[in-house]
Amino acid sequence: MILYFAYGSCMDELSFKRTVGENGYKLMGRAVLPDFRLAFTLYSPNRMGGVADLLWSPGEKVEGILYQLNPEVLKDLDEREGVSHGRYKRIQVNVCHQGKKKMAMTYTVVKKESKEVCPHPSYLKEIMRGAGRLSREYQEQLRKACKERFGISV
């Protein structure tokens, strides 16, 4: 089994399930990635705006959802993330889940824009649906960041 840390639209279980199938994963719950921040560094024509990425940022944190994946669904997840097109690449990160450090796989943008790209409101809504399993503090932080950086209320 592979541990996968989702921090963008894959936090939304319905969306994630459409990619990996009913039996392709097990939801583990909330996890925290220290020393990174959430940013939108790539324009996606499919999403009609910026898409989520991780940026190194000591002292900050990103909350997300930890999944346990069946290895055979990794190709479907890679396809969703555009790995073969050079959009995202897999990286290994140390997350905190239920008080324990765990090594997990996640994705990061390969060619980051120098300035953040405004995400489409529908994409942000998908992220916020998934964020329902995260801390209230982090959910509020996401709302505040969207308002301040892009003028979007979610």
Whether 123 has a binding-site annotation, put simply, is yes
- Those residues whose C-beta lies under 8 Å from the C-beta of residue 113, and which sit 6 or more positions away, are 41, 42, 43, 50
Q: Any catalytic annotation for residue 81?
A: yes
Whether 24 has a binding-site annotation, put simply, is no
Whether 107 has a binding-site annotation, put simply, is no
Whether 114 has a binding-site annotation, put simply, is no
In angstroms, the CA 139 to CA 120 distance is 18
Q: Torsions phi, psi of 44, nearest 5?
A: -115, 120
Instruction: Give the tokens for residue 38.
Output: 């959430």
Selecting among 63, 81, 116, 140, the annotated active-site residue is 81
Whether 88 has a binding-site annotation, put simply, is no
R_g of the chain, CA atoms, integer Å: 14
- Of 31, 10, 27, 3, the C-alpha closest to 103 is 3
Whether 36 has a binding-site annotation, put simply, is no
Strand locations in the chain, DSSP E? 2-6, 25-44, 49-69, 88-97, 100-109
Whether 145 has a binding-site annotation, put simply, is no
Largest CA distance in the chain: 40
Bind-site residues: 4-9, 123
Bind-site residues for substrate: 4-9, 123
Residues known to be catalytic: 81
